[in-house]
Chains A and B, each alone.
Chain A
Amino acid sequence: MGQLQLWLSALEMGCFFGLLALAYYLVLVGAGFFNFAIGPYAMVGGLCTSYLVLYEEMNVWAAAAVAITAAAALAVVTELVVVRPVQRRSGGGELPALVAVAAVLFAIQQLAGYLFGYTTLPGQNVLTFEPVSVGDTVVQPSTLVLLAFTVVAFAGLAVWIRSTRTGRLLRAVGDSTHAARLLGLPVNRVRLIAFVLSGLLAGITGLLFAPKAGVSSLSGLSWALSGFLAMVVGGTGSVWAPLFGGLLLGAVEVFVPYYFGGQSHVYGLLIVALLFFALKPSGLFVRRVRA
């Protein structure tokens, strides 16, 4: 009975968290940096699309294209204008970049509210077809699209990282920026590619997830946290690790309140974070052998 529905929900949430975690993964691997602004990029992807469709009466696909471009552009601005100068100035220190990215998160959130309004807007479906029945539960088209995109995104990136020059460079640069620079590798270009890809990915993810519960300018922060947790749980051992972390976190989000009720999800998240960060800060999957 209801159990199937719960597994479906866990799967959907898991894919969403996993995609956000993948966007984190790209920037982490390519630039050695946790980009908390991933959540706001996703929010812009969803909110901007809905705004353009509802208030400017744009076609969904055109609106989606604009929104995803905007998300990617924000990622580029984050890298070029904020992260790179701040990191260059602060040397290896992590804190200045963290504060800078907090400021970016805050600014995008406020700016989006100013531009698109402070109300929650309904997500837009890029594809509409009849809901599919599985057992006694119904799967919405938006869920199916999200699941399909998850498979495509992970498989595509896995292939890209393994078999293209840029993909391999991404790892090389992330492993040791210093060495890569000495070897004359195009460090800045690779970092930028990582940011653009993560912006695109986050934008599409936000757009595809928005139909589930709507999107508002304040959605970004909690999405950023969920994606970060999923990434940490999964680790960086493989491209698929973020997906695994996401699915695990999705299951926690669904089954903890199912078995414990009340506000257990708030306490549950804190406990998961504490346990993982304390015991396995590098995540479940760690690369043991360097290629």
Chain B
Amino acid sequence: MGVSTTSRIVSCLALAALTVAGCGNKADEKPSNGTASGAPIIIGLDEDSTGSGASYSTIAGKTIRLAIQDVNDKGGVLGRPLKLVVENDESDPTKVPAVLQKLASQGAKALFLQSGSAAILQAKSTLTQLGLPAIAPTGVTATLVQPPDNELIYMLANTTTDWAQVYCGAFKAANITKIGVLTDDTTTIAALDKALLPALSCVQIVATEKGAANASDLSAQVARLKNANPDAILVTSVGGAFEVLAQNTLGSQMKGTKRFSLASIGNQPSSWKLAAPGALEGLIFMGSINTANPRTQELVKLLQTKYGKDYDITAYDAQAWDSVHVLKQAIEKAGGVDDSKKLNEAIQSIKGYPATFGQANFTLSFGADKHLGADGPCGLSLIEFGADNKPKGPWATFQPPCAK
């Protein structure tokens, strides 16, 4: 073992690094111009593709690309193709300002923010500096679109305020008066809990337990919940391993207690496989996909031709799709993208856009004070998991009223 061996191994390492660098772009298939001609309209996408938010942000990122391709194939926007520029912030807030600036310097006139929520929160003030409008397609944290620095940021889906209404309706219908809450320790969920839990005044919250997002064991938290003797459990988490571990533990230790969850578990088909057999059965989550919605059906068709018959559509897909189309409408209304102030006003002038998620008559509207698209709780529906750990369909006991 001499110097030559060491240097040989080192050069192998260097070679490996170069190989990785060489094919680093493999996942990034950029949409082509399709049938549209003319100067491209550049849209920026801040996507976490390698960091802690990668597991969920790439789901919507993929559909954003698909939607842009579809728009371009159908003649583009104002006859011009949309061109996507992508940067990765690895959900690291210290990288966000530079990433957004980089997108802007590449000519992006509007942005999609598809990253961890701490990173998007950090992005708000940079957006104000840049003066560019942005949509967070899958954001649900209400603080994102609240002051400060909320003039240019938009979200589509219902947030926690509507959720509280729906949960309360559900708890009433199922005769639930005491609930226990199991929550993860991410800042995303801390922000969400802060908005959601006080709004659940219809029930008594008898216990709130917190576990680490990367926890390997939650039996202590679940045992505490059990001691508080609630009628039902609400799990609030960013989804992924924590949610599944929580459901596995609840399923075995608190069998028979009704379980509710947020939207994330329903949007992460890859997480369903993590669950122990039957562990998700009876779990009710805040879904947004309603297969009776004709636009949802069309999107399903498109996704299945692209990814195969087994593709499970999620709200992330639909929200990514709608984000692109909301932006398309705004660009058409503004007559171009050169004036970002006008583009921002054009987004705010969109009313009654029929959404691809939610019930058939669910719409999105924006305004100067309404940075959250959802019109009423029709975008939500409570979905129940079946014994095969897959969503089985709407929960029979209660559905949000949709009077419109």
Contact = CB atoms under 8 A, between A and B. Distances in A.
Contacts of A110: 50
A6 B220 contact: yes
Contacts of A219: 214
A188 B212 contact: no
Given A188-B1, A261-B209, A122 B273 contact: yes
Contact of B245 (A80, A212, A266): A212
B274 interface: yes
B217 A80 contact: no
Contact of A258 (B55, B220, B253): B220
Contact of A266 (B1, B51, B58, B212): B212
A138 B255 CA distance: 12
A118 B220 contact: no
Contacts of A120: 55, 240-241, 270-271, 274
22 contacts: A2-B223, A2-B253, A3-B223, A5-B223, A5-B253, A13-B216, A77-B9, A80-B9, A118-B51, A118-B54, A120-B55, A121-B270, A122-B273, A218-B214, A222-B214, A254-B219, A254-B220, A257-B221, A261-B224, A262-B210, A265-B211, A266-B212
Given A54-B273, A77-B9, A263-B185, 12 more contacts: A2-B253, A3-B223, A113-B54, A118-B54, A119-B55, A121-B274, A213-B244, A214-B244, A214-B274, A254-B219, A257-B211, A257-B224
Interface string A211-242: 01110101100100000000000000000000
A265 B253 CA distance: 21
A114 interface: yes
Interface in A91-135: 110-111, 113-114, 118-122
B10 interface: yes
Nearest to A122: B274
A212 B216 contact: yes
Given A5-B223, A254-B219, A265-B212, A214 B241 contact: yes
A216 B220 CA distance: 23
B363 to A, nearest CB: 33
Task: Please classify the interface of chain B as helix (H, G, I), strand (E, B), loop, or mixed, using the class held by over half of its residues.
Answer: helix
Contacts of B211: 257, 265
Contacts of A218: 52, 214
Contact of A9 (B58, B219, B273): B219
A149 interface: no
Contacts of B185: 263, 266
B55 A257 contact: no
Interface string B203-219: 00000011110111101
A150 B211 CA distance: 26
- Which interface class (under 10, 10 to 19, 20 to 34, 35 or more) fits A? 35 or more
Task: Please classify the interface of chain A as helix (H, G, I), strand (E, B), loop, or mixed, using the class held by over half of its residues.
Answer: helix
A81 B240 contact: no
A176 interface: no
Interface in B327-379: none
B220 A255 contact: yes
A138 B224 contact: no
Interface string A197-216: 00000000000010011101
10 residue pairs, one from A and one from B, having the closest CB atoms? A118-B54, A258-B220, A9-B219, A119-B55, A2-B223, A122-B274, A257-B220, A214-B241, A120-B241, A213-B245
